[in-house]
Every structure is written in C-alpha cells, then in structure tokens.
Amino acid sequence: MHHGNPICLTIHEILSGDYGLILNKVDENKLITQREYNNLKSINNANAETHVIELVDKIMNKGEKTCKDFLNLLQTDGAIKETFPLLAMSSCQHGNTHVTQYRNTVRPVGLCVIINNKNFKDGSQRRGTDKDARNLAEVFKCLGFRVLMCEDLNKDQMDQALTFVASLADMSHFVDPQQVLEHGDAFICSILSHGKKGVVLGTDRNPLPIKEITRKFRGCDQSVLTGKPKVFLIQACQGSNIQHGVQLMETDDDTSPLTIPEEADVLVAMATVEDHAALRHIVDGSWFVQSLCEQLKERCPRGEDIVSILHYVNDDVAHRETSSLAKQMPEVRFTLRKKLVLPPQRT
C-alpha cells in the first residue's frame, strides 16, 4: 500500500467490496482514459483492495479537479450509495485526510466485556439475563469483537476485573492464561445486573458507581485506548419508580486539536433514566438489551453509527408498555468526537 498518498484507508477497505462497479462508474464519468481503464481491468493475481489502491492512486495523481470529481461520484451516484452505505460516513480531501468516523481496521476490532450477574448471594436470581448475555455476545462477535464473559461477580470482583481489562494486566482469574488479550480500535463493556441511582450492584448487593467504572478507562498518555471509542451498555435499574405514559407534546431540542480532554470518546447507554426501574422479562430478557441487539443486527450492516442506532433503541423501548401500563425510557450520554460505525465482519 502506498502510505504516502492522500487517501482514506477507510475508503480503500469499503470499495474493495465491489471493485468492478467503481471501475465502471469511473470509466462512464470519463475520470480515466480508455487505455487506463483497460489496464486496470486486466490486472491479474491481485486482491480487490490492491485493485482499489491502483485505481485511487491513478485518480489522485490526476490533480485536484479529478480527485474532487471522484469524491463527488462516490457521494452522489445512486448505485454506489446503495452498494456502499458506509461511504456516507467517510470523506477525503486531496492533500489531507479527514475521516468523520473512528478508525476501524484492526482485527479483532477490540474487546467486548460482558458482566452477567444472575445469581445473587441472597438467593435471588435475575431470570432472563442469560438470554441478554447470549444475544449481546452473538452480536458483538459478528461485529468483530473478542467477547469476554464474566458471570456472577461481586462488587470487588467487578471492580478488579474492569481494572485489569483497562490496563490489560493479569486477567488469569477471568480467562485462560494462554490467551493473549489486546485492545483494538474500540472497547465495549456491558453490565447486566441490579442497580440503584448511579450504581450497579455486585452479586453481594454492594454498589459500584458507574462513574468509577468509566473513569478506569479515562484517556491518559499511557493508555492504548486514548482517542478510541469506549462504549458502556448498562442494563440495571436506577431506582424503584415505575414510569407511566403521558400525552405526546411537540418539543424543541438543541444540543450542542492537538490534545483531547481525558473524558473524551466515551458513550454510556443506560437501560433507564435516573430513579426508575428497568424492565426485564423472565424468559425473553430485558427490553433494553433485546431492542439493542435487534437494532444492531438490522442497522450495522447498513453502515449506521452507534448513536443513530441508539436513537432507534430509545424510540422502540419508549413505545413498549406492560399490561399495567408501565413504561421505560433508556438514556444515552456520550463524549464521542466522531461517528462510531461497526460493520459486520466477513467470516
């Protein structure tokens, strides 16, 4: 690969899916000569990505106008947009690379840690949570993550496991010592447990503040996760209040370097808002996790980013209600600086 060329590696990876379509479209729009088209088409013994690199290099060497025409073609042609939805998430400029999404090139993509607390020391069980854990593991494996499942951890064990994962220190208590663990381009942590306001509970019913969990992964000069997205998916009550439905009213809503804040690049998705319960079916699992898995399966292949997908989860869960008219409203907060896109990995 010609690393010196001003091209988006993301676009190389995306376009490799159907190189023939791109080459034909470039030819139709007269961005290359007939001779160049024939030469590119006749390259033998090369994989799709090599073909793409040759084509993009040739276009980049033709000057700024041809480069802009090529980028415009990628963003406006109907067939290309339909075939490569991920292109909507990326953009390149001649002489400079500007990517609006987080890098996602390492395989595996990163670690996904699932803490599934089902059996509590007082004898109680969170029935249905195993289905949530299985579905999450299945989805994130398909998205290219290495999944680590931790079951029935008390507060101190949760704290210890997450501390180890953050630094990738001694994880022999939780995984096979022979396994080598490495952080990739993203980190996912899902905690399925009981909870109270601002905390999740260990199996001993002792609380671990969610703020302390995310703080373990805070950016610093030594952390390989600095500048990379860290997503926390929390299925736990945040109180005992039950939410009720209200008449829908129209509302308006507005939200608004060289170094980045240490709290950057984090997303926390809570099953419910503060002070309220999170609902879980004893067979089908929780509303939040089941909706999350369904939306990830449906929308990740389309190239939609995680925040957009969580909007659909919020809306889906908000429309559900129990026979007693109980409602639930998930809550998402984030300091992500870019879009996080997680395309399924080919097996």
pLDDT one-digit tens code per residue, 37-66: 888 887 665 566 677 777 877 887 777 788
Higher pLDDT, 263 or 127: 127
pLDDT one-digit tens code per residue, 214-229: 999 987 766 788 899 9
pLDDT band at 258 (very low <50, low <70, confident <90, very high): low
Domains and CATH numbers, the chain: 9-98 (1.10.533.10), 110-241+262-334 (3.40.50.1460)
Q: For residue 88, what pLDDT is reported?
A: 56
Rounded Cα distance, 81 and 181, in Å: 37
Rounded Cα distance, 135 and 138, in Å: 5
Tell me which residue has tokens 């400029």.
Answer: 93
Tell me which residue has tokens 């998916």.
Answer: 233
pLDDT one-digit tens code per residue, 118-130: 999 999 999 999 9
Q: For residue 22, what pLDDT is reported?
A: 83
The structure's pTM equals 0.67
Q: Is 67 a catalytic residue?
A: no
Q: For residue 173, what pLDDT is reported?
A: 58
Residue 163 has pLDDT above 70, yes or no: yes
Task: Kindly state the DSSP code that residue 343 receives in the 8-state scheme.
Answer: P
Catalytic residue among 8, 194, 276, 293: 194
pLDDT one-digit tens code per residue, 65-101: 888 788 888 877 778 777 776 665 544 433 343 447 8
Tokens of 233: 């998916």
Give the mean model confidence (pLDDT) for residues 125-142.
Answer: 96
Q: For residue 55, what pLDDT is reported?
A: 82
Residue 235 has pLDDT above 80, yes or no: yes
pLDDT one-digit tens code per residue, 326-347: 899 999 999 999 999 999 886 5
Give the CA dihedral 305, 308, 314, 317, nearest 10 degrees. -60
- Give the number of residues written for the chain: 347
Q: Is 237 a catalytic residue?
A: yes
Catalytic residue among 112, 150, 189, 237: 237
